Each structure stands twice: as structure tokens, then as C-alpha cells.
């Protein structure tokens, strides 16, 4: 039987998202998002936690809390997927890929699907830490971010979210920062096990543009939609009509965004390589 330590021979992927321009949704004033996902090898459990803490310095206390429940779910699911299922995964992906950008996702992720285990009856717990100490804080940011999570659920995926007050019990942590260096507007870091099942995630969102201008609540919602798309396992697409475009020019999920995330959640996590 696999031990928790074996399962945690996992990878941490960081997605740093950058924006430029003043507004989101207006043609010609796009949000530039240059997410870069980097698998940092197969670190030990201790190394994984250190990596996450480096990405989210304030998370030191919560990273000490093991997400053992999530790991057990991933263990069972990972063991259940035999190598023989790769052909079935490929068949389902091919038959369902029309109207999606799954091909771009697979190209970016070395032919692997990373996703959360189904979490309908046991929703993923989301802790949103409000940035009331930030000069440009807007109380409308919190409902905007919550709406972004709920909007993805509306795409009919087998994942639900519940917003919790205790960060120690959360699977997903969201916090706001004043700004990032080099124009970063959002950052999503998630960890997964060796079978590509997602385990936990952290999102950071900037409340100001790189030039110092304030971000509006609708803009924050659009940025959060993009970051939650990463959190769910999506990557970038070239089509700027989609929220997962590297240059975010829209404020709502496209049919392709919805179809792609549904297809991701129609198959188990794992590599499509034979």
C-alpha cells in the first residue's frame, strides 16, 4: 500500500499571471496573463511544503496542517485507474474535444489531465482572506471572487465550493495583495499527487494595476475567473474570446471554457501517454 509519503512525491505547479492595461473586457485594453506552469521535480513532502510556503509566505501556519483527507481520496482514485484506462481516456477526450481547447491544454501539460476528485457531496473548502489592510481594498472584491468560483460550478462540473471561516480546514486559500512585482496580477499555486489528482491550491490576487490604478470589482471577478480556471486544471488558450486566454479580454466564461472544463472532469486525472 502506498504511504502518504509516497503519494507526496508530487509536484507543485505555480501559475503566475500578469496583467497590463487598465481594464478588462474592453477591446484594446486587455489583461495580459503570462502564466507559467513549472513542475519543480518530485520533491519530498518537506520540500513541497517549503515550495508552497515560498510562494505564499503568509501560509506558514496553514501548511503545517496536513490535508490527510484529500490525500486519501487521491490515493484511492489513483490506484483505481489502471494503465489500461489510458486508452479509454484518450477515446473520451477525442470524442468530446469538439468545441474545446483541450488540445492546447494537453500540449502545455505534457499530455496530462490534472483535476480535483469529484467533490459534489463534500465541497472543496475555500477560505478567502479579505485584504482590509490594503489601501486600495474594495469590499466588493470578496463577493466578486466568490461569484467567480460559483460561476465555474455553473459550467456543470462535479465540483462544488463552500466558503469557510477557518483557514486551517480549507483546501483552497485566496488572499489579496497590493500588487505584484513585474506586473503580476494573480497567481495560482496548486499541488497534486503523482497520479495528477489535485490536492490543494492557493490563489493571490492584486488589488491594484501595476501602474497603481485601482482594480474594479468586475475586473477582479474576471481575474478571479481566470485564476479559478487554473485552479480547476485549465491552462491557456490562444482564443481571446475565452476567459483562459493569456490575454483576458472577456468577463464571462465562453462556451469553449465550459466545454473544456467539462471534458477535463469527464475523465480521470492522469497522463494520456501510453
Per CB under 5 A, residues contacting Zn ion are: 17, 33, 35
Give me the least distance between CB of 223 and Zn ion, in Å please.
9
Q: Distance between CA 53 and CA 69 in Å, rounded?
A: 20
Instruction: Give the residue with the Cβ less far from Zn ion, 7 or 17.
Output: 17
Give me the least distance between CB of 35 and Zn ion, in Å please.
3
Q: Distance between CA 185 and CA 230 in Å, rounded?
A: 14
Give me the least distance between CB of 88 and Zn ion, in Å please.
30
Helix, strand, coil tally for the chain in percent (to 5) = 35, 25, 40
Strand partners, 11: 192
Instruction: Give the residue with the Cβ less far from Zn ion, 17 or 256.
Output: 17
CA dist 238 → 39, 106, 257 (Å): 22, 14, 12
Instruction: Give the residue with the Cβ less far from Zn ion, 17 or 59.
Output: 17
Give me the least distance between CB of 236 and Zn ion, in Å please.
6
Asked if 215 contacts 136 with a C-beta cutoff of 8 angstroms, the reply is yes
Strand partners, 177: 206
Q: Is the dihedral of CA 174, 176, 182, 185 positive or negative?
A: positive
Give me the least distance between CB of 234 and Zn ion, in Å please.
9
Instruction: Give the residue with the Cβ less far from Zn ion, 18 or 197.
Output: 18
Nearest to 23 by CA among 171, 271, 220, 257: 220
Residue nearest to Zn ion (CB): 35
Instruction: Give the residue with the Cβ less far from Zn ion, 49 or 243.
Output: 243
Instruction: Give the residue with the Cβ less far from Zn ion, 118 or 239.
Output: 239
Going by the DSSP 8-state scheme, the letter that residue 169 receives in this structure is: G
Give me the least distance between CB of 191 and Zn ion, in Å please.
18
Residue with cell 481575474: 223
Instruction: Give the residue with the Cβ less far from Zn ion, 33 or 75.
Output: 33
Give the list of residues 6+ apart from residue 50 with CB closer than 8 angstroms, or none.
Answer: none
Q: Where do the H-state alpha helices sit in 56-189?
A: 60-63, 68-80, 85-96, 102-108, 141-153
Give me the least distance between CB of 16 and Zn ion, in Å please.
8
Give the list of residues 6+ apart from residue 38 with CB closer than 8 angstroms, or none.
Answer: 13, 14
Instruction: Give the residue with the Cβ less far from Zn ion, 17 or 261.
Output: 17
Give me the least distance between CB of 7 and Zn ion, in Å please.
27
Amino acid at each position: 500500500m502506498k504511504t502518504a509519503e509516497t503519494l507526496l512525491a508530487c509536484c507543485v505547479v505555480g501559475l503566475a499571471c500578469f496583467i497590463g492595461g487598465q481594464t478588462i473586457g474592453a477591446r484594446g485594453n486587455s489583461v495580459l496573463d503570462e502564466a507559467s506552469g513549472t513542475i519543480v521535480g518530485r520533491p519530498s513532502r518537506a520540500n513541497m511544503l517549503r515550495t508552497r510556503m515560498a510562494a505564499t509566505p503568509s501560509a506558514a501556519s496553514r501548511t503545517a496542517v496536513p490535508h490527510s483527507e484529500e490525500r486519501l481520496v487521491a490515493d484511492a482514485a489513483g490506484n483505481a485507474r489502471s494503465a489500461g484506462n489510458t486508452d479509454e481516456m484518450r477515446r473520451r477526450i477525442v470524442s468530446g474535444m469538439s468545441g474545446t481547447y483541450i488540445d492546447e491544454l494537453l500540449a502545455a501539460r505534457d499530455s496530462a489531465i490534472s483535476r480535483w476528485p469529484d467533490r459534489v457531496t463534500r465541497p472543496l473548502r475555500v477560505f478567502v482572506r479579505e485584504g482590509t489592510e490594503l489601501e486600495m481594498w474594495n469590499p466588493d472584491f470578496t463577493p466578486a471572487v466568490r461569484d467567480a468560483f460559483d460561476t465555474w460550478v455553473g459550467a456543470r462540473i462535479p465540483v462544488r465550493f463552500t466558503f469557510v471561516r477557518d483557514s486551517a480546514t480549507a483546501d483552497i486559500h485566496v488572499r489579496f495583495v497590493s500588487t505584484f512585482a513585474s506586473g503580476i496580477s494573480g497567481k495560482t499555486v496548486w499541488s497534486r499527487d503523482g497520479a495528477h489528482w489535485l490536492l490543494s491550491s492557493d490563489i493571490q490576487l492584486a488589488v491594484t494595476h501595476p501602474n497603481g490604478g485601482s482594480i474594479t470589482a468586475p475586473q477582479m471577478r474576471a481575474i478571479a475567473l481566470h485564476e479559478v480556471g487554473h485552479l480547476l486544471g485549465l491552462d491557456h488558450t490562444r482564443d481571446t474570446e475565452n476567459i483562459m486566454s493569456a490575454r483576458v479580454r472577456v468577463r464571462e466564461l465562453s462556451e469553449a471554457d465550459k466545454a473544456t472544463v467539462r471534458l477535463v472532469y469527464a475523465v480521470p486525472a492522469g497522463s494520456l501517454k501510453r
